[in-house]
Amino acid sequence: MSGQAAMADGLDPARPMPTLPIALLIGALTFNMALCFINTNVMGINDTMVMGCEVVLVATALYLGLGRNAAPYLLLAIFLSYAAMLMAMRPLIDPKAVRDFLIPVAFYLLGKSCNDPRLADRAALLCGIIVVAFGLFEFLALDVYVSYFNIIKYYVARGTVAPSDVSAQTGALFASGLRPDSRTLLPFLGPHRASSVFLEPISTGNFGAILYIWALNRPQMAKRWLTMAAGMTAIVLSDSRFGANVCIVATVAYFAAPITPRFVWLAAPFVLLIGFAFYGFISAEVNWENNFTGRMLWTARLITSLSPAAVFGLSPDKPFLSDSGYAYSLNQIGLLGVIGFWSLFIFAPERSPRAWRFKVCVATYICLLMIVSDSVYSIKTAALLWFMTGSSDGDPGAEPAPAPPRTMATNYPAAAAG
């Protein structure tokens, strides 16, 4: 591909990369850690401050990502109308349901508006370096780390953890910060699981899997192996069995993507959902263990515990469903909303076969993650994931050839250029 053709596709290699989208992604990655530092050393925080930060991040992403195309505005209008209808029928005002599904929309649009996967490359590498650096700091100097970042105190302050649920065994760490049984990855490292900037190890492992998937699908990216190594290091430091398994399954999906029709990936989560519901109704198992098989049993139990009204998002009850993304999604926006959002993701047009491969890997990650958690909606990891997805769908599929410096107008939105 010539430099002139690359510039026609918005990929002029000579242009400077915008800094504001990267700063926004780093902000989404680290704002919880900043608030934790403030809560530990400066002043108390509350849940309103956390929600305020998320509102600023999502609103900024929407402002930068929305252009003159009418389709995103129509999509937002339909979603907000649907959410308002559900809240009116429950009746229950639940802004969290709106927030959960605005995050992927906002950051997908931001990534697609930038139209340059090299920007996602740089964001992935920078975020990976930050995560690994803080993870090593925590792992090598835990006492110093918790003196600045008292994690459990922060989660109590924001209302996520009840004071009665604080365990003396984990100290200032989150409940999952210590492995109760033996470590799976490199057992000689001990039971400590690094939380890094995420303040809990589950997201650290998920983030590592996201970096691996991106690097797997970007064979031409600069510092590809360093980015992949950062992802694998995050998985090991957090002892994320899930993250390690996702890397294996996503690799299989990467090679299977060209031969699997789109309908297979459209149906995948609903086939799993039906399977778990059937398993939940017929299984006589009562006790479950903290492994993937046990989590499958638990998510089946949670799905079958939903009332018919909850399945369609009409129940005013909000039980604890965070251990199952499938049950949580149904309870938040209903079966019709889940079908609509997943269909938009699968059928969103991509401009290259490479982008379809990446989308298949992301679909694999989401389908697996929702078995064990609702953290697919966490802005800490979702912001970068959906930015990558948007930039991948907007990528024309060919890398720009090196070109001498020149002065040319760029096609980044003016706001995105900072």
The residues spanned by each domain of the chain are: 3-394
CB 26 within 8 A of CB 130: yes
CB 385 within 8 A of CB 34: no
CA Rg, the chain, in Å?
21
pLDDT of residue 170: 74
Local confidence band at 413 (pLDDT 50, 70, 90 cut-offs) = very low
User: How is the chain split among helix, strand and coil, in percent rounded to 5?
Assistant: 70, 0, 30
Average pLDDT over residues 46-57: 92
pLDDT above 90 coverage of the chain, percent: 55
Tokens read off for 256: 């299977």
Better-predicted residue by pLDDT, 351 or 92: 351
Give just the sign of the alpha carbon dihedral 144, 147, 148, 154.
positive
Whole-angstrom distance, CA of residue 380 vs CA of residue 28: 6
pLDDT of residue 195: 92
CB 370 within 8 A of CB 273: no
CB 208 within 8 A of CB 201: no
Whole-angstrom distance, CA of residue 153 vs CA of residue 163: 9
Average pLDDT over residues 230-235: 96
Q: 13-44 in b/e burial notation, b at 16+ Cβ within 10 A? A: bbbebbebbbebbbbbbbbbbebbeebbeeee
CB 136 within 8 A of CB 198: no
Q: In whole angstroms, how far apart are CA 180 and each of 245, 328, 405?
A: 20, 26, 56
What DSSP designation does 178 have?
B
Which residues make Cβ contacts (< 8 Å) with residue 74, sequence separation at least 6?
none
Average pLDDT over residues 150-160: 89
Average pLDDT over residues 192-203: 92
What DSSP designation does 210 have?
H
- In sequence order, the β-bridge partners of residue 178 are 192
pLDDT of residue 328: 93
Q: Please state which of the ranges 16-25, 34-43, 199-208, 393-402 shows the lowest mean pLDDT.
A: 393-402
pLDDT of residue 172: 84
Taking the CB of residue 183, how many other CB atoms lie within 10 A of it? Answer: 17
Average pLDDT over residues 198-209: 94
